[in-house]
């Protein structure tokens, strides 16, 4: 049984845990240990995620299976960006599904909720930054009409990485 809900400040600790775990699971290599530590220290921790949950411009969405947190997403409801031609753009800031749930439909249920959350906040488009060497995520976003409209630097520890900026019109047909 899958439950999708908005996060509450009481979820901060478990959110920090899954955020760090899924980030490492996705991007850790033997060569990037120091940058990974720097990035995780800066980005993940109970108080950091608590502030994100409390931020009125950030919707944090959790997916639970049998009370276990298996995925989450964060949407910056109003997030203009130069290369994003939209009147009311939202940003998909983070989308992470635990590895054992990849390819099993969890990400699609979560994307439906992401799009409805952005739409309810008045967004007409949604954009995101994705690492240029993350083909699975790029293929997933393509299914929702995301197209590359620019690029930016994602500072990963001491390593400036190239992110593709992708954008999609919010399409009601993807909302359950």
Ligand X SMILES: CC(C)(COP(=O)(O)OP(=O)(O)OC[C@H]1O[C@@H](n2cnc3c(N)ncnc32)[C@H](O)[C@@H]1OP(=O)(O)O)[C@@H](O)C(=O)NCCC(=O)NCCS
Question: Residues interacting with ligand X, by CB under 6 A?
Answer: 22, 26, 95-97, 102-103, 107, 130, 134-137, 139-140
Q: Which residues contact 55 (CB under 8 A, 6 or more apart)?
A: none
Min dist. Cβ of residue 9 to ligand X (A): 24
Task: Identify which of residues 53 and 73 has a Cβ nearer to ligand X in the complex.
Answer: 73
Task: Identify which of residues 96 and 127 has a Cβ nearer to ligand X in the complex.
Answer: 96
Min dist. Cβ of residue 134 to ligand X (A): 5
Task: Identify which of residues 38 and 131 has a Cβ nearer to ligand X in the complex.
Answer: 131
- Token pair 């298996």 is found at 70
Task: Identify which of residues 5 and 104 has a Cβ nearer to ligand X in the complex.
Answer: 104
Strands 2-6 and 58-65: antiparallel
Min dist. Cβ of residue 166 to ligand X (A): 9
Give the CA count within 13 Å in the CB-facing half-sphere of 9.
Answer: 6
**Biggest CA-to-CA distance, the chain:** 43
Task: Identify which of residues 22 and 119 has a Cβ nearer to ligand X in the complex.
Answer: 22
Question: Which residue(s) pair with 6 in the sheet?
Answer: 61
Min dist. Cβ of residue 173 to ligand X (A): 17
Q: Rounded CA gap, 39 and 37, in Å?
A: 5
Min dist. Cβ of residue 157 to ligand X (A): 17
Quick check: 26 and 36 in contact, CB under 8 A?
A: no
């Amino acid at each position: 049984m899958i439950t999708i809900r908005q996060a509450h400040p009481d979820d901060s600790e478990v959110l920090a845990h899954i955020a760090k775990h899924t980030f490492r699971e996705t991007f850790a290599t033997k060569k990037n240990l120091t940058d990974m530590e720097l990035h995780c220290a800066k980005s993940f921790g109970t108080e950091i995620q608590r502030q994100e949950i409390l931020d009125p411009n950030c919707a944090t969405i959790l997916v639970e299976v049998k009370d276990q947190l298996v995925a989450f997403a964060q949407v910056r409801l109003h997030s203009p960006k130069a290369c994003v031609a939209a009147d009311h753009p939202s940003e998909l800031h983070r989308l992470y599904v635990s590895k054992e749930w990849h390819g099993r439909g969890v990400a699609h249920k979560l994307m439906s909720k992401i799009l409805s959350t952005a739409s309810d906040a008045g967004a007409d488009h949604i954009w995101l930054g994705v690492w240029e060497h993350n083909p699975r995520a790029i293929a997933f976003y393509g299914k929702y009409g995301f197209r590359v409209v620019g690029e930016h630097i994602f500072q990963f520890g001491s390593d400036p990485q190239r992110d593709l900026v992708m954008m999609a019109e919010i399409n009601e047909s993807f909302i359950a």
